[in-house]
Structure 1
Amino acid sequence: MKNQQLDAVIIGGGPAGLNAALVLGRARKHVAVIDEGRPRNAVTREAHGFLTRDGISPSEFRQIAKEEISAYPSVLFVADTAVSIAGTDGHFQIATAQGNTFASKKLLFAIGMKDRPLDIPGLAEVYGKSAFVCPYCDGWELRDEPLVVINKGAELMHFAPLISGWTDRFTVCTNGPDELTDAQREELQRNQVPIFDSPIQNIDSDDDGIVRQVVLEDGTSIPCRGIFFKPDLVTGSDLPRAIGCDITETGSVVIDSFGKTNVSGVYSAGDAASRVHQAIAAASMGALAAAAINNELNIEAWRENG
């Protein structure tokens, strides 16, 4: 595939990229979706909170999405990784790891986020099975169960009241200094939340990845049925930064309300451009960005012909 001339290239094939491809395909635009097939939520057995798709596996979600998009022949799926981008608005050149090159008028980064390696022994074995990051996604399945929350500081004080809507049986492990004020510790005590700052030695689980207990270095063992933890995330690709997109302190691509970045012709959507990491929110952002891209393309063509 050399020098494919396209209206848009979408980098990333999660909910944001797929919904953008659907909207652009229906708008009769020629689009390539470049995706390496390694989604962050691959560890998750079920995705929740997406109307008509509650409880679906991430792989089945993608399969159904691609089947629906296949009705629009102007959308091409490319199993590859974008590695470099050159050019400017209207004349972008995208090169991939497998040696493909694409010429595209517009770009949409739907690159998501990636987890840094999990440095707590045993956490990788339970991630996506009984350890999760979002109670909106997985809190219902762990309602009223004894849980361990691995978090600290200001983010803990946001998360503790949130998780209490699903269970009041949770213990906090800060895995080192808690980074709390005296007032914050008192607030947790008033709500009868046990808190331990000893580092975590390991997470003990069964063969199915269901956690049994969290063991601390001071010898404390905390039995539990589930874990919620704060992941350490990085943007799914360095390409937005490499081509000059503004990036926030938390690593998100800076966009306007329709997904447009500060670089002309470049858009972003989904988890890479938001701190609201939910599939349905990502899909919505992809749809809006696609509509903005289509509008921009149509206006440019209109003016060229006028």
Structure 2
Amino acid sequence: MQEQLLDVAIVGGGPAGLNAALVLGRARKNVAVIDEGRPRNAVTRESHGFLTRDGISPSEFRRVAKEQIAAYPSVSFVADTAVSVAGADGHFQITTATGQSFASRKLLFAVGMKDQPLNIPGLTEVYGKSAFVCPYCDGWELRDQPLAVINRGAEVMHFAALISGWTDRFTICTNGPDELTEEQREELRRHRVPLYDAPIRSIVSNEGIVRQVVLEDGTAVSCSGIFFKPELAIGSELPRALGCKLTELGSVEADMLGKTNVPGVYSAGDAASRMHQVVAAASMGALAAAAMNNELNVEAWSRNG
């Protein structure tokens, strides 16, 4: 039996992959979305900042998305993990962990980012409940509350100014040398922002709600919420294996339409951007889908002319 050639294989079923599938389905393209069902934001109770879906849980977001995409029969969902990719523009070959094989003209990596192990004792227990990474996503819920910011270096200064829009009651814990200049420390003092550079011993919480950040020198920073900088890695090594260029931060290098340096290969969402928000990922997925659809239509027009 001749193998069916998909128009687009989408690796990753988060907001970017799902929105790409929606746009491509409406464009009458044959698409498979390959996703293992383990999203990074599964630890969070609610997603915010997406118009008409503000406060929705990640699982409900995906359920509604798949329900709406089901109206377009050319899109299928594969609950599996893509483990290898080969081929070139016009005929990529994707193999999954269970041995399924898919051939596709174009390829979209919407693989997201994944958290590296959290090496601060007690942080895992509060992550997604009272410890977060993005104030645009969760700052409203922690407005005017006493917070601990766990970060270091020049990013501390950017984040201090940013978080001040939600609360002026925050303490910076750098969990080791602060990597700041004396001028930067003086700026924090002028704004009356406490700064501690002792390593963090543990985070004390009750049912997921942080109570204190305890430092190795015995200092206890009382707070009811935390913002921290996570250590991230791309959600799959497949883009690198296929020859996609990566940025210094480990994400896929792509243009504003998601096009990578590898012909026929696109990337969207957190895997291709520092803007780690649901609405931004979905938008990138839509743009990449439109670009791929246009590429496919032009190629078909040329073949049939």
| TM-score (structure 2 length as normaliser) | 0.99
| 1:17 alignment counterpart | 17
| 2:298 alignment counterpart | 299
| 2:166 alignment counterpart | 166
| 2:124 alignment counterpart | 124
Does structure 2 retain, via aligned residues, the 8 Å contact 1:7–1:31? yes
**Aligned pair 1:229/2:228, yes or no?**
yes
Q: How much does 1:256 deviate?
A: 1.2
Distance in 2 between residues matched to 1:191 and 1:57, nearest whole Å:
36
Distance in 2 between residues matched to 1:156 and 1:35, nearest whole Å:
35
| 2:280 alignment counterpart | 281
| 2:28 alignment counterpart | 28
| 2:73 alignment counterpart | 73
Distance in 2 between residues matched to 1:245 and 1:2, nearest whole Å:
29
| 2:56 alignment counterpart | 56
Q: How much does 1:2 deviate?
A: 9.6
1:288 aligned counterpart, secondary structure: helix
Paired amino acid for 1:139:
G
Distance in 2 between residues matched to 1:272 and 1:92, nearest whole Å:
20
Paired amino acid for 1:51:
L
Paired amino acid for 1:74:
S
The more displaced of 17-26 and 1-10 is 1-10
Q: Aligned ranges for residues 117-266 of structure 1 at < 5 Å? A: 117-207=117-207, 209-266=208-265
Query: Where does structure 1 lack aligned partners over 5 or more consecutive residues?
Result: none
Q: How much does 1:152 deviate?
A: 0.6
1:111 aligned counterpart, secondary structure: coil
Paired amino acid for 1:54:
D
Distance in 1 between residues matched to 2:54 and 2:256, nearest whole Å:
27
Q: How much does 1:250 deviate?
A: 0.5
Does structure 2 retain, via aligned residues, the 8 Å contact 1:4–1:101? no
Distance in 2 between residues matched to 1:68 and 1:155, nearest whole Å:
40
Paired amino acid for 2:262:
V
Does structure 2 retain, via aligned residues, the 8 Å contact 1:2–1:100? no
Paired amino acid for 2:113:
M
Distance in 2 between residues matched to 1:67 and 1:272, nearest whole Å:
25
Give aligned-pair identity as a percent.
Answer: 78
Q: How much does 1:233 deviate?
A: 0.4
Q: How much does 1:4 deviate?
A: 3.9
2:226 aligned counterpart, secondary structure: strand
Does structure 2 retain, via aligned residues, the 8 Å contact 1:3–1:101? no
Q: How much does 1:257 deviate?
A: 1.5
Does structure 2 retain, via aligned residues, the 8 Å contact 1:200–1:217? yes
2:301 aligned counterpart, secondary structure: helix
* Closer, same or farther: CA 185–2 of 1 in aligned 2, 3 Å: farther
Q: How much does 1:3 deviate?
A: 4.1
Q: Aligned ranges for residues 88-103 of structure 1 at < 5 Å? A: 88-103=88-103
Query: Where does structure 2 lack aligned partners over 5 or more consecutive residues?
Result: none
1:6 aligned counterpart, secondary structure: strand
Distance in 1 between residues matched to 2:169 and 2:2, nearest whole Å:
57
Does structure 2 retain, via aligned residues, the 8 Å contact 1:2–1:102? no
Aligned CA-pair RMSD? 1.0
